[in-house]
Amino acid sequence: MEKIEKEKALKDEIERLNWEFSLLYEISNAIRTTLKLDQILYIILTALTSHEGLGFNRAMLFLVNEKENVLEGVMGIGPHTAEEAGKIWHYITESKMSLDDFIASYDTFKRDPESKLNSIVKGIKIPLREDMGILVLTILEGMPFEITTQEAKKLVDPNIQKTLNTDFFVTVPLKAKDKVLGAILVDNIFNKNPITKSDVKMLTMFANHAGLAIENSRLYEETVYLSSIDWSTKLWNYGKFQQRLSYELERSKITDTRVSLVMVDVDNFKHYNDTLGHIRGDNALREIAGVLQSKSRKVDTVARYGGEEFVVVMPNTNKENARLFAERLRSEVEKLFFEESTLPAANRLTISCGVACYPDDTIKKDDLIAKADMALYEAKGAGKNRTCVYSKAMGDKRSA
């Protein structure tokens, strides 16, 4: 009898291990299908909450923000109330959704305005100090914490407990190459199933895979970013400008709005460079780039077009507002170099600007660039340090 029981226990253990390795393999393959961070986070949390995955009621993911030295909530999947949980589980049962089905629902999740838990998690920001509770200790200690007893709950920040509406839970660190990137928090707040040692072990193994996936995604996104910026000014480069302009023009067709393009050229730059040297010239371009960036809106695309030329793509902006914006830029740059005592006034750095607008001036991208350039050429020819707006007369003059 004892032998039979031992054999059964061994068989159960082997089946459990096979299931764990099979699940990890399946999830790892799913994670490898994308390098986009949001999608990776979604796959991670879906695997933790899916009934075909680890089956926790809720899963929340937090990442370290090294610049601000805080732990930030980035995504949460699961219901926020028992009523919501009942509806979700009923739908899952009726739909017979697999893990693959859940993962394929990413776009729906992203658009879902009713994901209350996700909104709550995204609003959390915790300073990385030892007195800030279990989530932060998970990062600082680099180890899991099991909050499964009343005694252990004393270590939990009551504000976080109230915000997340949680009771007993487990946290595990997300690691990559001995570096802690963040933490995962899971709970069974609704069905009250106990989180076992076996669950924690599986969760920890899973978190190690997840941490590497997150780090790879970050490295990929950093590479993509670096390939899209101008190294000297840290603005977007020519390729990114072309990409963003195409995107904004396509979007404006759908929304029936205007897109204005401002082309900027630095006046007297060659003389400035030749007289004061390339280091001073490069610094001047960086200062001008800083003005363009600081005066632009978040929705605008500011890029270096080439040499001493810059461009600003302004969605949902008519020609007059773009002209006023260009004039503000021109005035700021004029003030910036007004007291350049080493050069005569006629050779100080200023900028000239040309403005064209879609669809008022053209509906073609290349033509929009050409017409903004015509307006810029007009400004340069009219004495520099001024803004000109494209008009049909400019095109007639150029073709004459």
Residue positions annotated with a catalytic role: 308
**What is the Cα–Cα distance from 12 to 170, expressed in whole angstroms?**
25
**What is the Cα–Cα distance from 80 to 346, expressed in whole angstroms?**
66
Report residue 153 as tokens.
């709950």
**What is the Cα–Cα distance from 71 to 129, expressed in whole angstroms?**
10
Q: Where are the alpha helices (DSSP H) in the chain?
A: 2-31, 37-49, 82-95, 99-104, 106-111, 116-122, 134-141, 150-153, 158-164, 197-226, 238-255, 269-276, 278-295, 319-336, 365-381, 392-399
**What is the Cα–Cα distance from 336 to 303, expressed in whole angstroms?**
20
Q: Cβ(154)–Cβ(137) under 8 Å?
A: no
Report residue 237 as tokens.
């480069």
Q: Cβ(48)–Cβ(28) under 8 Å?
A: no
Element (H, E) at 306: strand 301-306
Element (H, E) at 73: strand 70-77
**Strand 350-358 vs strand 125-127: parallel, antiparallel, or unpaired?**
unpaired
Exposure string over 265-294, b if 16+ CB within 10 A, otherwise e:
bbbbbeebbeeeeeeebeebbeebbebbee
Report residue 48 as tokens.
């933790």
Instruction: Evaluate the CA torsion angle 137, 141, 145, 151 in order and state its sign.
Output: negative
